[in-house]
Amino acid sequence: MVEDDRKQFIAKVDINSNVVETVITGERCFYNIDNNAGSGAMVACMSEPQLPAEIYAIENNVARRLTHVQVSFVNVIQFAQVEGFTSTSKDGTKVSGIVYTPATTKHGEKLPLILFIHGGPVAQDTYEFDFTRQMLAAGGYAVAAVNYRGSNGRGVAYTKAIYADWGNKEVADILGAANYLVEKGIADEKNMGIGGWSYGGILTNYTIATDTRFKAAASGAGSSLQLTMYGIDQYINQYETELGAPWKNQKKWLDLSYPFFNADKIKTPTMFMASEKDFNVPVAGAEQMYQALRSVGVPAQLIIYPGQFHGITTPTYLIDRYDRYLKWFGKYLK
């Protein structure tokens, strides 16, 4: 499996010549290869922007669909239009993104925008079926995915660009994508929101502390006062390698915590979400930012899902989260 710019394709490597040959690619994502050693054929799961994963046979570099598990779901829903785009950040960096717009969008129609930011940060948004963004787009929004610096799919240098420098280049890339979508007439600049989970929640906090244009935010499993994460989350080795121990490099830790220390500059009503048993990004990260915004008089909500870890798995809680997204963004962007 090769992770490329917004794609994940299948390749073969000749270990004698070190030559990489693409087997099958396209604006889609393949997963879970299983080889038939005797015939050279293989099976893999594959997903496209308007099709959840199905199983395909890969024969002579062509995909042949084997399963139709998703038919009853796909045939009754009008999915969002999905299109890739490339924006330019203020320092000239080219950044890849994907925008989802409702199927009923008319040509030239400006829509309220939700930038929904992926976590990681070493991950990327791809041309695969994305339930969350499809659902938000169905609510009448343009929904943008942004593969900010720190994402994968663009090479090691792109991923390491934010090493020990969080909330700087990524924010510039997110704002560059927002500006692009406004300039193209896709997004209504007066009605923009932002949200995400995990590092997407952290970047939501960084972004609303940098730019006051956003009318609503939904920060999930995020943090801002990074010093308080030391010793209560799972990243001690990374922290000490990348940032240094807090008592040796205090200024760095404080600089990376700027959303908390600039809470009085934030104007964006924000809904903070967290999971009670999250040891990846503990619930304290959401509680602190919620209290900070309440203290400075910015509308805020705090939702904690009981018994959940970093990813929410209880179906009723998943429904609740989607419902809250639509209500929160609807209140401020419509």
Tell me the per-residue pLDDT of 58-101, one tens digit each, with 9 for 90 and over.
Answer: 988 899 999 999 999 999 999 999 999 999 999 999 999 999 99
pLDDT band at 108 (very low <50, low <70, confident <90, very high): confident
pLDDT of residue 37: 73
pLDDT above 90: percentage of residues in the chain: 96
Cβ-based neighbours of 320, under 8 Å, separated by 6 or more = 303, 305
pLDDT at 39 over 80: no
Which residue type sits at 281?
V
pLDDT at 321 over 90: yes
pLDDT of residue 38: 73
pLDDT of residue 36: 79
pLDDT band at 228 (very low <50, low <70, confident <90, very high): very high
pLDDT band at 232 (very low <50, low <70, confident <90, very high): very high
* Domains detected in the chain: 2-73 (no CATH), 78-333 (3.40.50.1820)
Do residues 102 and 137 lie in contact, with contact meaning Cβ atoms separated by under 8 Å? yes
pLDDT of residue 206: 98
Tell me the per-residue pLDDT of 143-195, one tens digit each, with 9 for 90 and over.
Answer: 999 999 999 999 999 999 999 999 999 999 999 999 999 999 999 999 999 99
pLDDT at 202 over 90: yes
pLDDT band at 35 (very low <50, low <70, confident <90, very high): confident
Per mean pLDDT, which range of 101-110, 205-214, 260-269 is the poorest? 101-110
pLDDT band at 40 (very low <50, low <70, confident <90, very high): confident
pLDDT at 53 over 80: yes
Average confidence (pLDDT) over 305-320: 97
Tell me the per-residue pLDDT of 251-268, one tens digit each, with 9 for 90 and over.
Answer: 999 999 999 999 999 999
